[in-house]
C-alpha cells in the first residue's frame, strides 16, 4: 500500500514537515507506507546509483513497483521494442534486489486492444531476475557499461501489470491474453475517465487509485477507504498478493489516503 511517486514540491510543509531535507523525503515516506511506485522510470532512464540509494533508504520489507518506460508504451506502442526493453532493465532496476516488486506497463488512452501485439510484447517480458539480467546484457548503445546493472544477486520472480486506458480493453479477449501470460490487469479508479476493469488475471492484484470524484485531486472518504479495505481483504483471502497505489497527488491526498488504508489493513500490510 502506498503512493505513485514521492517527490512533489506541493507536499513540502504538508505531508513532509517543513524543513525536512529533500534527500530525506523517501526515507520519511517509506517509514509510513509499505510500497511506492517509481514514476521516474516512465519518463526517462535512471542511474544505477539511484536504484541502489532507494534500496538503502527504505525499510527491509519495503517494496518498489517500477513503471515501464513511456518510450516503449507511448512512443513505440509495444512494437519493435527488443532493444529498448533490454535497456529498460539494464538501467539499474535489478539493483533494488529483494525490494523489486511488479513492473507496471501503462498504455495511452489512444492505444486500442490488439491481441497479437500484446501477446508478442508479453512474450518478451522477463519473469525472473535471472532472465531480466540476461536481457539487460543486450541493452542498446544509449547506456555505457558503467551506467548499467546486468547481474542479480539471486533468482526471484518478476511480475508485470498492465494499465490500459482505452475502453476496448474491457473485452473478455483482453483478459484472456493477460491470463495466458499471468499479467495482472490493473483496476484503475479514475473518476470515470478510463476503464475500471475488475478481473483476476494473475496471482496478484494491482490497483491504482487516481481519485474517485476528481482525477488526481479528490481524496477518498472514510466510507470509500472502508470499501477498498474490504476489497483488499477479499483478494488476500483468495490467496493473492495485493498492491495498491494512490495517485491523487494534486491536493496532497495520496499519502494520507494510503496511510488510511494501511490503518484499516494491519493484518495485510
Can you give the CATH number for the domain in which 93 is found? 3.20.20.410
C-alpha cell at 225: 477507504
Confidence of residue 146 (pLDDT cuts 50, 70, 90): confident
- pLDDT per residue over 154-166, tens digit each? 999 999 999 999 9
For the chain, how many structural domains are there in total?
A: 1
- Please tell me the predicted confidence (pLDDT) of residue 176: 98
Span 38-48, mean pLDDT? 96
Q: Give the Å distances, CA to CA, from 95 to 1, 48, 86, 118, 140.
A: 22, 7, 15, 27, 19
C-alpha cell at 104: 507496471
* 140: phi then psi, degrees, rounded to nearest 5: -85, -175
Q: Which domain, by its residues, includes 177?
A: 2-264
Between residues 156 and 140, which one has the greater pLDDT? 156
* 19: phi then psi, degrees, rounded to nearest 5: 90, -10
250 domain residue, yes or no: yes
- Please tell me the predicted confidence (pLDDT) of residue 157: 97
147 domain residue, yes or no: yes
Q: Is the pLDDT of residue 268 over 80?
A: no
Residue in 58, 87, 63 with CA at minimum distance from that of residue 149: 87
- Please tell me the predicted confidence (pLDDT) of residue 269: 65
- pLDDT per residue over 95-131, tens digit each? 999 999 999 999 999 999 999 999 999 999 999 999 9
Confidence of residue 144 (pLDDT cuts 50, 70, 90): confident
Confidence of residue 262 (pLDDT cuts 50, 70, 90): very high
102 domain residue, yes or no: yes
101 domain residue, yes or no: yes
112 domain residue, yes or no: yes
Q: Is the pLDDT of residue 13 over 70?
A: yes
Residue 88 to residue 104: CA distance in whole angstroms: 12
- Please tell me the predicted confidence (pLDDT) of residue 141: 81
Confidence of residue 267 (pLDDT cuts 50, 70, 90): confident
Confidence of residue 70 (pLDDT cuts 50, 70, 90): very high
- Please tell me the predicted confidence (pLDDT) of residue 142: 80
Residue in 176, 172, 161, 168 with CA at minimum distance from that of residue 243: 161
For the chain, give the percent of residues with pLDDT over 90.
96
269 domain residue, yes or no: no
- pLDDT per residue over 238-256, tens digit each? 999 999 999 999 999 999 9
Q: Is the pLDDT of residue 199 over 80?
A: yes
- Please tell me the predicted confidence (pLDDT) of residue 6: 97
- Please tell me the predicted confidence (pLDDT) of residue 34: 97
Half-sphere exposure of 226 (CA within 13 A, CB side): 3
Q: Is the pLDDT of residue 4 over 80?
A: yes
Q: Give the Å distances, CA to CA, from 20 to 3, 62, 95, 239, 249.
A: 19, 21, 26, 39, 19
Residue 72 to residue 87: CA distance in whole angstroms: 11
Q: Is the pLDDT of residue 143 over 90?
A: no
Q: Is the pLDDT of residue 63 over 80?
A: yes
245 domain residue, yes or no: yes
For the chain, give the percent of residues with pLDDT over 70.
99
Q: Is the pLDDT of residue 64 over 90?
A: yes
Amino acid at each position: 500500500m502506498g503512493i505513485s511517486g514521492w517527490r512533489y514540491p506541493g507536499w513540502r510543509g504538508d505531508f513532509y514537515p517543513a524543513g525536512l531535507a529533500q534527500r530525506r523525503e523517501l526515507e520519511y515516506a517509506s517509514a509510513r507506507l509499505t510500497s511506492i511506485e517509481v514514476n521516474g522510470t516512465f519518463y526517462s532512464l535512471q542511474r544505477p546509483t539511484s536504484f541502489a540509494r532507494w534500496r538503502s533508504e527504505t525499510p527491509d520489507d519495503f517494496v518498489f513497483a517500477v513503471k515501464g518506460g513511456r518510450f516503449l508504451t507511448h512512443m513505440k506502442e509495444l512494437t519493435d521494442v527488443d532493444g529498448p526493453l533490454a535497456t529498460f532493465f539494464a538501467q539499474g532496476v535489478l539493483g533494488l534486489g529483494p525490494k523489486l516488486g511488479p513492473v507496471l506497463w501503462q498504455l495511452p488512452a489512444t492505444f486500442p486492444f490488439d491481441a497479437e501485439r500484446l501477446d508478442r510484447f508479453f512474450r518478451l517480458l522477463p519473469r525472473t531476475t535471472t532472465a531480466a539480467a540476461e536481457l539487460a546484457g543486450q541493452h542498446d548503445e544509449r547506456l555505457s557499461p558503467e551506467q548499467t546493472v546486468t547481474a542479480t544477486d539471486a533468482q526471484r520472480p518478476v511480475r508485470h501489470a498492465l494499465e490500459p486506458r482505452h475502453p476496448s480493453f474491457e473485452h473478455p479477449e483482453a483478459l484472456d491474453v493477460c491470463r495466458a501470460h499471468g499479467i495482472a490487469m490493473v483496476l484503475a479508479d479514475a473518476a470515470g475517465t478510463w476503464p475500471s476493469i475488475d478481473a483476476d488475471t494473475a496471482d496478484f492484484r494491482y490497483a491504482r487509485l487516481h481519485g474517485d470524484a476528481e482525477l488526481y485531486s479528490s481524496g477518498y472518504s472514510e466510507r470509500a477507504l472502508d470499501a477498498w479495505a474490504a476489497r483488499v481483504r477479499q483478494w488476500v483471502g483468495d490467496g493473492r498478493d495485493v498492491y495498491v497505489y494512490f495517485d491523487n497527488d494534486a491536493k496532497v491526498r495520496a499519502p494520507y489516503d494510503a496511510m488510511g488504508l494501511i490503518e484499516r489493513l494491519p493484518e495485510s500490510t
